[in-house]
Structure 1
Amino acid sequence: MSHTLNGKRIAFLATDGFEQIELTQPWNEIKAAGAAVVLVSPKSGLIQGMNHDEKADQFKVDELVGSVSAEDFDGLVLPGGVANPDSLRMCEDSVSFVRDFFKQHKPVAAICHGPWTLIEADVVRGRKVTSWPSLKTDLINAGAEWVDQACVVDEGLVTSRKPDDLKAFCEKAVEEFAEGKHAQQTA
């Protein structure tokens, strides 16, 4: 990859029910670009990945979301899956963690159903985003401009629709994480 992430720490926020490929492919590509990657969750121990509606692998949580801060990281990735972001948006520590990345003008990448947590954090108003199509109305109602594109970047916020978009999503996430702060990004 053309951008280096040496010295950067990137958080992946997830819990049970995340779409496995939406965590593992960005994880591997961001790590290959030189970043330290950290799995953050509201739950300790192992969290359950999914391949669509089938159980996949379990992954060991590195840090509890209530014990870390956005200040500890240079960027954030929000994988999708249906159950994962639905649970995260009901967890105040997770929502605050996400919101703090925007307050600190740090890049965030969310794919598929991941933007549900962004809606709860109230950080999509006035932004151009994409997502899994079923979130379109939710995002519009939260004040976002929703578009049907493989990958959208808006002042450090990277969004994509589905696993088929992972190549573009990973490339843009690495690029935004390499750039760092975004002065125009607001919470």
Structure 2
Amino acid sequence: MAKVAFLLGPQFEDSEMKNPYDAVKEAGHEAVIIGLTKGDTVEGKQGEASYQTDLSIEEANADEYDAVVIPGGSSPENLRLNRFIQTFVQKMNQQQKPISAICHGPQILISANLLHDRTLTCYPQLKDDMINAGANFKDEEVVVDGNLITSRTPKDEPAFIRETLKALDKVTV
């Protein structure tokens, strides 16, 4: 089964973490929560979910993971400028491992300079940021471009989870 990194910081969108995290675990995959500091408790912005980080990003090695999920909310804004976060997603991308980012999640991909000539979607208000980063923006519930899987908002979670699990099935064959 796949080993999946969840990049998580404070004020994440509760359902965008909880639902994919639960689905990944229910499918039998290993889910590891990676934050800026190991053992931190991070709270969702709706107050409906909280998680403890299993590992700090400085301890995380992209070679040990099969995929990464980036929930939205304010979490990506809190993580995006960290050079270890940027390096982690860059290495995942270089190895063509699935990167699933929902809502504000693609902000991390902007900061890691991964969006040039890529096609994706995101939270609608970030459209101009994505285009300015060189991405081709589509206003769809889920967009898959190679190893990159993106969705817009919590209402798109079923499609986001479906495509993420489909990508995990391919890496575990």
Q: TM-score range by the shorter chain?
A: over 0.9
Measured after TM superposition, the shift of residue 43 of structure 1 is 2.3
Q: Please give the alpha-carbon distance, in whole angstroms, between the structure 2 residues aligned to 1:140 and 1:177.
A: 28
Q: Please give the alpha-carbon distance, in whole angstroms, between the structure 2 residues aligned to 1:18 and 1:167.
A: 18
In the other structure, the counterpart of 2:131 is 140
| Alignment-mate amino acid for residue 165 of structure 1 | D
Q: Please give the alpha-carbon distance, in whole angstroms, between the structure 2 residues aligned to 1:48 and 1:144.
A: 30
Measured after TM superposition, the shift of residue 34 of structure 1 is 1.1
1:175 aligns to 2:169 (yes or no): no
In the other structure, the counterpart of 1:22 is 16
- Give 3-state SS (helix, strand or coil) of 1:152's partner: strand
Residues 15 and 43, structure 1, Cα contact 8 Å, conserved in 2: no
- Size of the aligned set, in residue pairs, is 171
In the other structure, the counterpart of 2:64 is 72
Q: Please give the alpha-carbon distance, in whole angstroms, between the structure 1 residues aligned to 2:83 and 2:157.
A: 28
Give ranges in structure 2 of 5+ residues lacking alignment.
Answer: none
- What's the C-alpha RMSD, in Å, of the aligned pairs? 1.2
Q: Please give the alpha-carbon distance, in whole angstroms, between the structure 2 residues aligned to 1:73 and 1:57.
A: 24
Measured after TM superposition, the shift of residue 124 of structure 1 is 1.1
1:46 aligns to 2:3 (yes or no): no
Measured after TM superposition, the shift of residue 179 of structure 1 is 1.4
TM-score (norm 2): 0.95
Residues 142 and 159, structure 2, Cα contact 8 Å, conserved in 1: yes
Aligned pairs for 1:55-66 (under 5 A) are: 55-66=47-58
1:155 aligns to 2:152 (yes or no): no
- Give 3-state SS (helix, strand or coil) of 2:49's partner: strand
